[in-house]
Structure 1
Amino acid sequence: MKLSILDQVPISKGMTSTEALANSVKIAQLGDEIGYERMWLAEHHNTTSLASSAPEITAAYIAAKTERIRLGTGGIMMMHYSPLKIAEVFKTLAALAPNRIDFGAGRAPGGDGPAMTALASGRRPELTEQYDKLEIILNLMNEKSTGEEIYDQVVATPFKVTLPQAWLLGSSGQSARQAGAAGIGYSFAQFFNGQMSKAIFDAYRDSFQPSYFMEKPQIITTYAVSVAETTEEAEYNSMPMQIMRLNLMRGRLLPTISPQEANDYPLTEMDKVILDKNRPLMLIGTAKEVATQILEEQHQYGFDEAMINCNLHSIDQRLTAYRLLGEELLNS
């Protein structure tokens, strides 16, 4: 099956943002070497624990450092940007790295209220009509009429280039039909809430209309994983990710702490209940154990590709996890 990478560019405790971005390059180069299909960069604002605020720039840099792996955004947060600017950015990327660029679009803000306001230059953030904006972006990319006077007076340059693949992100199924009707791929964030269902994917396929961007429906499911040589090591290494999610639920997005600190973390009884509830949102184990679960769920739900988010504490742990899982799954 196809296997890909979602990188949020995590900044572990004691790490600099420069080091975190350099780690993304290392992960991309490993994926490029062993056969991962694509690597997407997330978009997050107003945080000191993630260094991915400009995924389109990181994708361009990594494209120049790799040979074949596809690069893109997972996703670019449409509400913050002009449709024309988004179209021109991704057409430029596609011209620089032909047949290797993905336009992954998200409807979320990728940040809190102050970040949304600052990105809108103090104006009220644009929270509605995201599907309309997506349609305008796709038409501008494809050099078609948008039906909007302000956009039909301009051309998105560079002109006449091979366009990127286009995908719409979702975590609840709400956007599945819109992705299908637009004729683009659908990427489901299983690691957000664990609510993957065959009904969501069937709705996407049933509504799919072939387009320039995609001839047939394609579904990516994204998992958070901790993989190591042994189940015990994978469990131990997973605790920083679990504590990070716990803190996020409290409104605090903190740097990834070490496995030792995470396993010694003082937990209240309520914390333990929350960790147990969140535990199914991660796949934890050996490469064989995790691969078996992914393949079973692929058979059950019918997605085409698995995307892996692995925010372990050290770059060595992350590279090992991606390598082991790649060796187990890429030939299956």
Structure 2
Amino acid sequence: MKLSILDQARITSGNTAVQALKNAEELAMLADELGYHRMWMAEHHGMDVVASSAPEITIAHLAAKTKNLRVGTGGTMVMHYSPLKLAEVFKTLSAYAPNRIDFGVGRAPGGDGNAIYAMSEGKEPQMHNMYEKIEQALQYMKDEVPAKSPYNKTIAMPSQIALPEAWLLGSSGNSAIQAGRMGIGYSFAQFFNGSMTHDILDSYRNNFKPSAFLEKPNILVTYMVTVAETKEEAEFEGLPYDISQLWLMRGMIKPSLTPEEAQTYPLSEIERMQIREFRKRQLHFVGDVQEVSAQLRKEQAIYGFDEAMLMTVPHSQEKRLNSYRLLAKELLDK
């Protein structure tokens, strides 16, 4: 199975943003050694629990620290940026690291209302034309000039570079159709709402048109996983994430607990039922590495996707790195 990594540079309790970014660097270097295919950095704004606010800068650093690993954004939030600037950034990245850069783009804001308005300098955010902006950025990357003003009177430099891989992130049929029509990869966020269906993925495949970016459909699916050598240890390490998801449902965003703190957190029976529902909806796979690997293989057999992108967020960096080692040994060596 082709394996990749999604990282948000999470700031766990007792740690700092600087350490979270250094942890991302350490993870990328390990992923490169283990044979992971790509690593994406998310984009989040105005959140003191996530340090990945400028993924295009982070991936430039990660590209310089690795040799074979593809690095990219998962995703760049297109609503905040000009198509010209997007093209300039990713063409520059690709000039420095040819055939290793991914332009993963999403339509979510990556932050709350305050962050959205700060990103748009207090102006009304433009949310109606995001697919059009993505298409214009892709044209610029191909050294073409979009037809529509104000983009039709300038070019995006540098030119004549290896095209980055282009991906559209989503969790709905609409984004799947648009990704297919643009001829770019489709990344489905199963960990986001657990709503993957054959119909969504088929709508991408059925609408796919070959492009300069991609000759045939390419689908990756992102899963949140917590693995360890034993199921008991995985449950211990995974509970803080489940509790943080309960908080998120209530609009509470704060650093996740340590595993020890989570064990004494006063969960109600309703909350325990909600956690069981998270697992049932495949928002979080928890178990020993053999069990979770079997679940991932089963998912691939059912849906036929090309690549699994994994995110795991134990409190300890040592535990997180070991989780990726275990998954690589189980899924990449077989």
Give the whole-Å Cα distance in 2 for the aligned partners of 1:85 and 1:66: 25
Please tell me whether the aligned partners of residues 105 and 168 of structure 1 are also in contact (alpha carbons under 8 angstroms).
yes
Alpha-carbon deviations, 1:155-214, whole Å to 9, x = none? 111111111000000012320010000000000000011111111111101110111111
The one-letter amino acid of 1:315's match is Q
The 10-residue stretch of structure 1 (75-84 or 269-278) with the greater mean CA deviation from structure 2: 269-278
Percent sequence identity over matched residues? 55
Q: Secondary structure at the match of 1:175?
A: helix
Structure 1 CA distance for aligned equivalents of residues 124 and 42 of structure 2: 23
Q: Which residue of 2 aligns with 1:321?
A: 323
What do residues 82-135 of structure 1 show as CA deviations (whole Å, max 9, x unaligned)? 110011000000001011000000000000000000000000111112111111
- Tell me the residue number matched to 1:331: 333
Q: Which residue of 2 aligns with 1:63?
A: 63
Match of 1:285 in 2: 287
1:229 and 2:266 aligned: no
Which residue is equivalent to 1:167?
167
Write the distance in 1 (CA, Å) between the matches of 2:186 and 2:253: 27
Amino acid at match of 1:187: S
SS at match of 2:105: strand
- 1:272 aligns with 272
Q: How does 1:53-132 map to 2 (within 5 A)?
A: 53-132=53-132
Distance 1:126 1:324 in 2: 43
Work out the CA distance in 2 between the residues paired with 1:61 and 1:32. Answer: 14
Counterpart CA distance in 2 for 1:253 and 1:6 is: 20
Q: How far apart, in 2, do the equivalents of 1:331 and 1:179 lie?
A: 31
Taking the TM superposition and a 5 Å limit, the aligned residue runs for 1:225-264 are 225-264=225-264
What amino acid is aligned across from residue 209 of structure 1 in structure 2? K
Unaligned runs of 5+ residues in structure 2 are none
Q: Distance in 2 between matches of 1:153 and 1:147?
A: 9
Post-superposition CA distance 1:43-80 (Å, at most 9, x none)? 00111101000000000001111111000000000000
How far off its partner does 1:11 sit? 0.4
- The one-letter code matched in structure 1 to 2:301 is H
The match for 1:152 is 152
Which of 274-283 and 287-296 deviates more? 274-283
Counterpart of 2:267 in 1: which secondary structure?
A: coil
What is the DSSP-based 3-state SS (H/G/I as helix, E as strand, rest coil) of the residue aligned with 1:143? coil
Q: CA deviation at 1:152?
A: 1.6
Q: Secondary structure at the match of 1:319?
A: helix
8 Å contact 1:94–1:163 — kept in the other structure? Answer: yes
Which position in structure 2 is the counterpart of 1:300? Answer: 302
**Residues of 1 paired with 2:224 and 2:254: CA distance?**
18
Q: Which amino acid aligns with 2:207?
A: S
The Cα shift of 1:253 comes to: 1.5
Q: 1:200 matched to which residue of 2?
A: 200
Contact 1:136–1:146 under 8 Å retained in 2: yes
TM-score by length of 1: 0.98
**Contact 1:180–1:209 under 8 Å retained in 2:** yes
Q: Aligned AA for 1:295?
A: R
Task: Tell me, in whole angstroms, the C-alpha distance in 2 between the residues paired with 1:44 and 1:276.
Answer: 27
| Per-residue deviation, 1:285 | 1.1
Structure-1 separation of matches of 2:263 and 2:186: 36
Task: Give the SS at the match of 2:260.
Answer: helix
Matched residue pairs, number? Answer: 332
- Cα pair 1:90 1:164 within 8 Å, conserved: yes
Unaligned runs of 5+ in 1: none
Structure-2-length-normalised TM-score: 0.98
Distance 1:273 1:286 in 2: 22
Aligned partner letter, 1:165: E
1:17-32 → structure 2 map (5 Å cutoff): 17-32=17-32
Contact 1:102–1:164 (CA<8 Å) still a contact in 2? yes
Distance across 2 between alignment mates of 1:331 and 1:203? 32
Partner of 1:174: helix, strand, or coil? helix
Alpha-carbon distance in 1 for matches of 2:290, 2:268: 33
How far is the alpha carbon of 1:144 from its aligned partner? 1.8
Do the aligned residues in 1 keep the contact of 2:145 with 2:154 (CA within 8 Å)?
no
